[in-house]
Amino acid sequence: MKTENLGYSQSDIEKAVSILRLGGLVAIPTETVYGLAADATNDEAVSKIFKAKGRPAFNPLIIHVKNIKMAQQYVQWNEAAEILTKKFWPGPLTIVLPSTKNSQIAETARANLPSVAIRMPSHPVALEILRQFNRPLAAPSANLSGKISSTSIDHVLKNLNQKIDAIVDGGNSTVGVESTIVTLTRVPTILRTGFITPEAVSNALGAKIANYDNEGPIIAPGQLKSHYAPKAKLRLDAIDWKQGEKKLGFGDVECDMNLSKGKSLTEAAQNLFNFLHILDSSNPRTISVSPIPNEGIGLAINDRLKRASIQE
């Protein structure tokens, strides 16, 4: 299949929407990372996402909506959802809630779970597509399952060229790491760290928030240990550099690429996947990475690096 390269003019967006209406796959820009979108109410279309990515069927997808009202059609709203969405939507926060009884979301999209993960993105192009489509979109990250996520169309094409119907170029993703996921089906618990910190979520709720840790029982199916992986091995917390390694630095260090010379964690998150793509493309055996402070958005960066360092 030929993958059509679209921009974000009105006619390009109309084209993308018409492909989605026909049950096709379109990679779309979001502020976190590029998403591989399909009509979330169309079982066959959703199945194509799993096939194109090589994603295991047990790993549910995040459902993207144009506003809070649309979300309320598909999930059972509660007070915590009200507070968090008022504060953080549109933006990089995904909430998990029980599905409504007659929800039209395809079972494949939620991997047959009784709950749904849902978010309203803030990227203007994603929002415009959602408004015109006027239905929810299932959209995991636009990369092969387990591989480095995509923050630009180059990354998407490297993974998915000729496997999807179209790609909409909306520039580089500004956040750079996936959304924070918090489940509200139980005591609010962070399932995945992201740009919105556990602290910010707990401050908004006025309550302590539990943190899912990988040693505990699995409460979210897709929490795969190995994820975001380059071909190279990753050596984390490197305080010295070894010969032959590619060096991904942070702060005032000599290296091949620097996530943020000025030690900005926001800048480091923006650069993370792009720099991993670039360093990995010269096929080094190892990429070594400077220590990243484990606070704020650094929690999300370290989570991604740790999973990326685990080889399947």
Binding of ligand AMP at residue 141 (CB under 6 A)?
Answer: yes
- In the complex, minimum distance from the CB of residue 28 to ligand AMP, in angstroms, rounded to a whole number: 13
Instruction: Kindly compute the dihedral angle of the four CA atoms of residues 269, 265, 190, 135, in this order, to the nearest 10 degrees.
Output: -40
Tokens of 211: 């943190």
CA distances 65 to 70, 230, 231, Å, are: 6, 31, 34
Restricting to residues 75-104, name those near ligand AMP by CB under 6 A: 96
Count Cβ atoms within 10 A of the Cβ of residue 252 and give its class: 0-12 exposed, 13-18 middle, 19 or more buried: exposed
Using the contact rule CB under 6 A, the part of the chain among 23-31, 82-90, 216-224, 279-287 near ligand AMP is 216-224
Q: Identify which of residues 221 and 296 has a Cβ nearer to ligand AMP in the complex.
A: 221
What is residue 125's three-state secondary structure?
helix
Paired residues of 97 in beta bridges = 116
Tell me the C-alpha distance between 150 and 176, whole Å.
9
What is the residue whose two structure tokens read 């803030």? 122
What is residue 97's three-state secondary structure?
strand
96 interacts with, out of ligand AMP, Mg ion, none, CB within 5 to 8 A per kind: ligand AMP
> Closest by alpha carbon to 30, among 94, 95, 126?
126
Binding of ligand AMP at residue 223 (CB under 6 A)?
Answer: yes
For 208, other C-beta atoms within 10 Å of its C-beta total: 10
115 interacts with, out of Mg ion, ligand AMP, none, CB within 5 to 8 A per kind: ligand AMP
- Which of 83, 220, 236, 253: binder of ligand AMP (CB under 6 A)? 220
Restricting to residues 127-166, name those near Mg ion by CB under 5 A: 141
Binding of ligand AMP at residue 18 (CB under 6 A)?
Answer: no
Binding of ligand AMP at residue 61 (CB under 6 A)?
Answer: yes
- Determine phi and psi for 159, rounding to 5 degrees: -90, -40
296 interacts with, out of ligand AMP, Mg ion, none, CB within 5 to 8 A per kind: none
Binding of ligand AMP at residue 113 (CB under 6 A)?
Answer: yes
Binding of ligand AMP at residue 117 (CB under 6 A)?
Answer: yes
110 interacts with, out of Mg ion, ligand AMP, none, CB within 5 to 8 A per kind: ligand AMP
- Say if CB 149 and CB 178 are below 8 A apart: yes
Binding of ligand AMP at residue 222 (CB under 6 A)?
Answer: yes
Displacement of CA 245 from its chain's centroid (Å): 28
Binding of ligand AMP at residue 230 (CB under 6 A)?
Answer: no
61 interacts with, out of Mg ion, ligand AMP, none, CB within 5 to 8 A per kind: ligand AMP
CB-nearest residue to ligand AMP: 222
Determine the Cα angle at 93 with ends 249 and 155, to 5°: 50
Using the contact rule CB under 6 A, the part of the chain among 18-26, 78-86, 177-185, 285-293 near ligand AMP is 177-185
Q: Which amino acid is at 169?
A: D
Binding of ligand AMP at residue 110 (CB under 6 A)?
Answer: yes
By the criterion CB under 6 A, which residues form the site for ligand AMP?
Answer: 59-62, 96, 110, 113, 115-117, 140-141, 178, 181, 183, 191, 220-223
By the criterion CB under 5 A, which residues form the site for Mg ion?
Answer: 141
